[in-house]
A and B are shown apart, each in its own frame.
Chain A
Amino acid sequence: MSTQLADVEVGTQAPAAEYGPLTTRMFVRYSGASGDLNPMHYDDAMARSAGYPSVFSQGMHVAALLAGYAVDWLGAENVRRFGVRFRDQVYPGDVLTCSGVVTAVQPGPEGRLVTVSLTAAVGGERTALMATADFLLPS
Chain B
Amino acid sequence: MSEAAPVGARGAEFEVVVERGKIAEFAAAMQSEDPAYRGPDAIVPPTFLASAALWRPDEARVEVGFDRRRLLHGEQEYVFHGPPPRAGQELRAVERVEDRYSKPGKRGGEMNFCVVVTEFRDLDGVLVAEARGTFIERAAAPAAGGKS
Chain A residues close to B by CB (< 8 Å): 19, 26, 29-30, 32-36, 59-61, 63-65, 67-68, 70-72, 76-77, 79-86, 133
Q: Which residues of A contact B34 (CB under 8 A)?
A: 68, 71-72, 76
Point out the residues of chain A lying under 8 angstroms from B29, CB to CB.
Answer: 26, 29-30, 32-34, 61, 64
Once the chains bind, are A33 and B51 in contact (CB under 8 Å)? yes
Interface flags for B76-119 (1: CB within 8 Å of A; 0: not) read 11111101100000000000000000000000000000000000
B26 at the interface (CB under 8 A from A): yes
CA distance in complex: A59, B72 (Å): 11
B7-42 with Cβ < 8 A to chain A:
22, 25-32, 34, 36-37
B-side interface residues, number (CB < 8 Å):
33
Q: Is B43 an interface residue (CB 8 A)?
A: yes
In the bound complex, do residue B37 and residue A82 qualify as a contact, i.e. CB atoms below 8 Å apart?
A: no
A76 to B31, CA, bound (A): 14
Nearest residue (CB) in B for A61 is B29
B53 within 8 A of A: yes
Complex Cα distance A67/B53, Å? Answer: 19
In contact, A70 and B26 (Cβ under 8 angstroms)? no
A103 to B18, CA, bound (A): 32
